[in-house]
Amino acid sequence: MSSSEKQLRKRAKPSSKPKSIAFSTIIMIIGLILSKGSGFIRTVLVNITFEEQYREAFIGAFLIPDFIFALLVGGSIQSAITPTLSKAIEEKNQKKAWKGVSIFITWMSIFVLSFVVICEIFSNQLYQMFYQGDSEEIVRLAGNMARTLYPQIFFMMLAALCIGVLNAYKKFGSTAFGPPVYNLFVLLAIGLLGASNNKALYMTGFGIMIAAFIYFIFQLFMGRRELVQYRPCLDLKNPEFRRLFKLAVPILISASIVQINILILNSFASRYGDGPFNALNNASTLWQLPYGIFAVGIGNVMLPSLTTHYANKDFKEGSKLLSTSIKNALFLTIPCAGIFLSMPLDLVKTLLQWSSRFSNENANMVALFLTGYCAAIVIQSVIFIFNQAFYAIGQTRFPLFAGIVSMFVTFVLSFILVEIGCGPMCLTISYSVACLVRMTLLALVYCRNKKLAPRRMKAFLIKSAICLIAVMGVLLLVNTVIPWDPSRKLFQFVWFGARALLGFAVYFAMAFALKMEELQTAYDRYLKRFFKKSVKA
């Protein structure tokens, strides 16, 4: 091979990686848009289908199954198995790694099935433990419906296994569209079986459990080539299993903290009269749309690549990748947070109020909760990516510690603010403050190692703050000058959409004026090529 050919190959390698990561991120984001979009339609459909008591029971029925899933499975598949297999693939040592993964999955399956049986027996007692409201009927309905949902924990665990394995092999296209398939069948279950009576509520839960089974079968088919290496085994003495177990346990507990916080908030929310479960769930669905699409998509794609950089001791590229991931996530979530904070009630009425069953009082409560959540859109994005970075370098204990601290802050702040008579928004403000504490702890500890720390963040954050202030200032001015509150749904969408587009336009215009690299990178990588093709045509 000539020296010129070697030079050409060296030049080709660095450029191919950003393209691959960018393409994978786009695929992941498209899948998450479909997933979050269909999940949002599910929220709207629940509001339309069920009367308030059954709606509260429906939302409440998911709290403990979701918590159990987060506690037993949560991020362990994605954040422990994915980097373990990624490192083994890089080091060409897959057979040894798969032995440990197989044992881990075998024991986890047994443990999850055992937990499902226990939850089936004590379902009603579990719901009575955290519900502080006066309605025993809601507790009974939620506890009984949950019995139809507990088996889905097992199927979701198996689907998460398939996704974690495929992500390790960087086959993001095979994992991006599983959640939309699940949501599609959930929508069918609610639409075909849902109604405001006991039997229909339980049948809807059964249909959702079937949707989880279909989700698993879909992901199993997509990962059939990679999963042939799985062999059931119970060897607890295997060193690879023990290493993976020590890595996964802190992640398991850390991942469950999000769900514990939801249980805490719902427990306190039940003191605020009728509809708090549904209102808090609706607000959570809304704020997680931008976070779940952009931050999760970028972080999931980053994880296996970051693991590879650290395995090769390529700290410079690892730091660069982490910096880019944080900046890209924030660049997309900050304007969303500004728009949500400027028009929370308009957003809720436009997207969620489709029938008289969702009253103005319901909308006001959702808007209050959403206002307190807005900061979490940005803060939780940073937390997610920093957690992924910790997992990529094999450090899982400190994210757990930071999560426990944030959980304690959520509980204490919520308790104090509720006891002194603050309104419902104090609960989601408590959550956002707890997230800020957690993010600060993660950033301080991770950045102590200068080789690993993200670069040039200060200038980016200052410029982003200027853009955010401009967005909120313009939207406040427009809302003050034109205080229009249309009642027809079409006009609501047009009016809110026009202001949202104006907010994004102001944000990107300010980013252009401030010469933010993130905007320039997007232009150079995608739009510039498009314009060149258009000119040639």
Q: How confident is the model at residue 8 (pLDDT cuts 50, 70, 90)?
A: very low
Residue with tokens 């598949």: 77
**Residue 164: closest CA among 175, 180, 150, 153:** 175
* Mean pLDDT of the region 267-283: 78
Buried b (16+ CB within 10 A) or exposed e, 371-408: bbbbbbbbbbbbbbbbbbbbbbbbebebbbebbebbbe
* Mean pLDDT of the region 153-168: 84
Angle between helices 315-342 and 276-290 (to 10 degrees): 130
Of 390, 420, 455, the one marking the end of a domain is 455
* Mean pLDDT of the region 226-251: 83
- Same domain assignment for residues 450 and 498: no
Mean pLDDT of the chain: 83
Q: How confident is the model at residue 293 (pLDDT cuts 50, 70, 90)?
A: confident
- Burial, 369: exposed, middle or buried (Cβ in 10 Å; 0-12, 13-18, 19+)? buried
* Mean pLDDT of the region 304-308: 82
Is position 98 within any domain? yes
Q: How confident is the model at residue 526 (pLDDT cuts 50, 70, 90)?
A: very low
pLDDT at 429 over 80: yes
Q: Output the pLDDT for position 522.
A: 58
pTM, two decimals, is 0.74
Is position 6 within any domain? no
pLDDT digits (tens, 9 = 90+) for 65-103: 887 777 666 555 666 677 777 777 777 777 888 888 888
**Residue 294: closest CA among 386, 380, 226, 420:** 380
Q: Output the pLDDT for position 480.
A: 92
pLDDT digits (tens, 9 = 90+) for 170-217: 777 777 778 888 889 999 999 999 888 889 999 999 999 999 999 999
- Same domain assignment for residues 57 and 155: yes
HSE-CB of 16 using CA atoms within 13 angstroms: 6
Domain total of the chain? 2
- Residue 456 gets the label, from left (phi > 0), alpha (psi -120 to 50) or beta, of left
- Same domain assignment for residues 152 and 267: yes
Q: How confident is the model at residue 164 (pLDDT cuts 50, 70, 90)?
A: confident
Angle between helices 136-168 and 82-91 (to 10 degrees): 10
Could you tell me if 167 and 82 are in contact, meaning their C-beta atoms sit under 8 angstroms apart? yes
- Token representation of residue 343: 């028009």
- Same domain assignment for residues 428 and 357: yes
Of 455, 477, 511, the one marking the end of a domain is 455
Is position 532 within any domain? yes
Residue 531 lies in domain: 456-537
Of 430, 455, 480, the one marking the end of a domain is 455
pLDDT above 70 as % of the chain? 88
Task: Report the amino acid identity of residue 142.
Answer: A
With vertex at residue 499, the alpha carbon angle to CA 498 and CA 505, rounded to the nearest 5 degrees, is 90
- Same domain assignment for residues 441 and 462: no
User: What distance in Å separates the CA atoms of residue 392 and residue 346, rounded to the nearest whole number?
Assistant: 40
User: Which tops the pLDDT comparison, 192 or 33?
Assistant: 192
Helices and strands (H, E) in the chain, number of each type: 21, 0
Q: Output the pLDDT for position 143.
A: 84
- Token representation of residue 475: 């939207």
Is position 188 within any domain? yes
- Same domain assignment for residues 302 and 368: yes
Q: Output the pLDDT for position 439.
A: 95
Could you tell me if 239 and 246 are in contact, meaning their C-beta atoms sit under 8 angstroms apart? no
Is position 8 within any domain? no
Q: How confident is the model at residue 131 (pLDDT cuts 50, 70, 90)?
A: low
Q: Output the pLDDT for position 90.
A: 74
